[in-house]
Amino acid sequence: MQLKPPEEGEKIEYKDGKLIVPDNPIIPFIEGDGIGVDVTPAAIKVLNAAAEKIGKEIVWFEIYAGEKAYKLCGEYLPKETLDAIKEYRVALKGPLTTPVGGGYRSLNVAIRQILDLYACVRPVYYLKGVPSPLKNPEQVNIVIFRETTEDVYAGIEWKAGSEEALKVINFLEKEFGIKVRRDSGIGLKPISEFATKRLVRMAIKYAIENGRKSVTLVHKGNIMKYTEGAFREWGYEVALEEFRDYVITEEELWNNYNGEVPKGKIVIKDRIADNMFQQLLTRTAEYDVIATMNLNGDYLSDMAAGLVGGLGIAPGSNIGDGIGVFEPVHGSAPKYAGQNKANPTAMILTGALMFEFLGWREGSEIIKKAVEMTIQQGIVTYDIHRQIGGKLVGTREFAEAVIENIQSL
């Protein structure tokens, strides 16, 4: 497979810790598997309209992963694709199906780890008109920063009964006196100071730059003291050592300020993971930016999406230093592929998140407003129509309605 970059457009550069984005950037995209064939082209049309609205132009460059790549070159994740993302720095990606026995635990996880996209950033906010199980869903406005390179997702594990698993079991018993049942599968959970601090650093910087009120460290440190407990400790360290002028701890908030947050300060707090789930339901408005580990972040971001209408409207991104791959939270839903039925909202809002990363905040706000307008007009795909009725449309027709609203703004 030989990828052919477009002749037009300019590359995004990264200098002195900042992206330099031209008015006509070349942006690679992966269509994706399953409903990717429906939602990705629909989203691209919306993004083109939004870019034009703010005087920009995206020059798209198709690259390949998943089933489409396998058909072209016999690989699910070609090196050329990864090299293109590295070179052009920003990419849009549809959902991928990890093949059974394909050599990867997950194509999504592989992309994150190979490109060192260490922060899975998922904003969760309410769109008026979308059905929600909450009485006050408009209170949901959080951004989850999930560390993606460590934790149990590092993939360090051995099958029960394997030579490797038995070696580890014997080692634990011989060296530390720890007895593990011999029919156990074994997995390791690495949590490092380096990975923790760079994630929390990114979350706090985001909170400062976007006027957010708090950053909450979510962990299960009461049980896993030297992994998740260490995440909590290192998180506080980076907050207090590197951002002291901007932050106060929750303890300081009550001891020194009687619960009143001083102007311009961000509150750093922490919550036990299981408690955090019910806190997001019962004290929704108290949470703003969340920083957590891989598994906690996976659970929390999916649950939070459910508070505002589900994965069909949930955008996501994978961010590293000067590099980002933007993908919706939902999966590939192959049974709906090619039916012009799937809701493209998550993919469209993922594009809005990409616009923010590019520094095109005006375009991002236009996209979000146009999507909300479309839903409030009662123009909806089947997943929302079955709950609230309205005018039932397909994937393409929904995107066209969003484009009309963009043009009217």
Q: Is 288 a catalytic residue?
A: no
What is the rounded distance in angstroms from the CA atom of residue 247 to the CA atom of residue 256?
Answer: 13
Whether 274 is catalytic: yes
The values of phi and psi at residue 259, to 5°, are 80, 0
| Edge-to-edge order in the sheet of strand 317-320 | 59-62, 26-30, 90-93, 323-326, 317-320, 119-125, 141-147, 289-292, 214-219, 266-272, 247-249
Neighbour count for residue 201 (Cβ, 10 Å): 18
Tokens read off for 398: 């929904």
User: 81 CB contacts (<8 Å, ≥6 apart)?
Assistant: 3, 28, 30, 63, 64, 65, 69
Is residue 86 flagged as an active site residue? no
Residue from 197, 220, 341, 368 carrying the catalytic annotation: 220
Tokens found for residue 362: 């005006």
CB 81 within 8 A of CB 87: no
DSSP 98: P
* Catalytic member of 118, 126, 153, 287: 153
Residue 298 annotated in active site? yes
Given 38, 151, 288, 298, the catalytic residue: 298
Beta strands at 157-158 and 186-187: parallel, antiparallel or unpaired: antiparallel
Q: 400: Cβ–Cβ under 8 A, 6 or more apart, which residues?
A: 45
- Side chain identity at residue 339, one-letter code: Q
Centre a 10 Å sphere on the Cβ of residue 302 and count the other Cβ atoms it contains: 16
User: Which segments are annotated as binding site for Mg(2+)?
Assistant: 298
Contacts 24+ apart (CB under 8 A), 209-212: 212/143, 212/266, 212/288, 212/289
Active-site pick, 265, 269, 274, 299: 274
**Catalytically annotated residues:** 153, 220, 274, 298
